[in-house]
Each structure stands twice: as structure tokens, then as C-alpha cells.
Amino acid sequence: MAVTAVRAAAEQLPFRTGSIDAVVAAQSFHWFADAAVDEIHRVLAPGAPLALYWNIRQAMTARGQFVQALAQLEDLITDAYPHSTPRQQSGEWRVPLDASRLFAPLRKTVIPSVWGGSLDTCTDGVMSVSGIASRSEADQAEIRREVRRLLRLAAAELGQDSSATLRLPCEEQVWLTAALR
């Protein structure tokens, strides 16, 4: 099976109507949901799936342990965004899908998982989220120090050595629907 990568905006796809067998959006649909629902539906074959994926950091481990430092880290990330910024966590990305009536009801699958790596890798991952990456260098330096402090605290709460590979709780969310005709 041949796969061709095409660079295009989700709201203006360069494909024939009904010619696509599946659309997958990873870590991104909340950014273009309003503008792209009709266009995604147009290019999908009847009954073809739309799969939406997010990797969501968690403050609760799969064993039910609440990690205060990870909750504080999420608060720091949330506070970095202007209130008008689309976020997966708000669920507002569902509104255009549900309102369009062009897709079957969404089905959600949650898979407990971990995110991690070295302290530097985890810090860089947090620093790459758009609400932080768009900040001034001075703001980023201050946020980086706080992220590292919180990751060290999280490691301690989880009984991990912050100088080794961190394994932090997250969940993989997969939302599936299909194009109706």
C-alpha cells in the first residue's frame, strides 16, 4: 500500500469529494475544529473514519496515587494560555462535530500510559506547548525553572530518581467517528 504525504490546511484539502479512506488528527483537532469539519466530511468516503488522538498528562497514576506536583504542573501549563486559546481539555472541539450532524456519535477510548524521559527531555516537552513556547525568552526561562522544580517534586512523590528516566502518568485518548452520507 502506498501512502503519499500532502501538506495542506485542514479547512482546504486538495482531494476529490469522497476520495479519502480515513482522516487522523493527532494532538491538533482542537486548533481547527470549527473551520475544518465540513471539509473533512467532504473528502471522506461514506462511512470512513475520523480518528482524533490526544496524549493527556495526568496527576493521578493508574494505581490511584494523586501526584500534587503534576497537578501544579498542569495548572502552570493552563495558566500559560490566554483564555481564548483552543484546548483539548475544554471539550469545545466537539461542538462543531456534534452540531454538524455529518458524523456518527463520537466514541472515546482511553488507554492508561506514561510519558517520560530524562528531566531535560520532560522539561523540553512541557516547554514546547504553544502557550509556553510563544512566551518571551525571559518568561520561558522563569517557566523552565518552575517546570524542572515541579518535575523533580513529581519524581520524589512517585519514588523516582529525577536524575534517571522519569515515568509520569498520562492517558492516550482516541476519539472515533465516521462520516455519514
pLDDT, one tens digit per residue, over 139-154 is 999 999 999 999 999 9
Residue-range domain boundaries for the chain? 23-178
Spell out the residues 6+ positions from residue 15 whose beta carbon is closer than 8 angstroms to its own.
6, 43
Which amino acid is located at 43 in the chain?
V
Please state the pTM of the whole predicted model: 0.86
Q: Give the residue, 54 or 83, on which the prediction is more confident.
A: 54
Decide if pLDDT at 82 tops 90: no
Mean pLDDT value across residues 88-104: 93
Angle in degrees, CA 9, 14, 16, rounded to 5: 135
Q: Which fold has domain 23-178?
A: Rossmann fold (3.40.50)
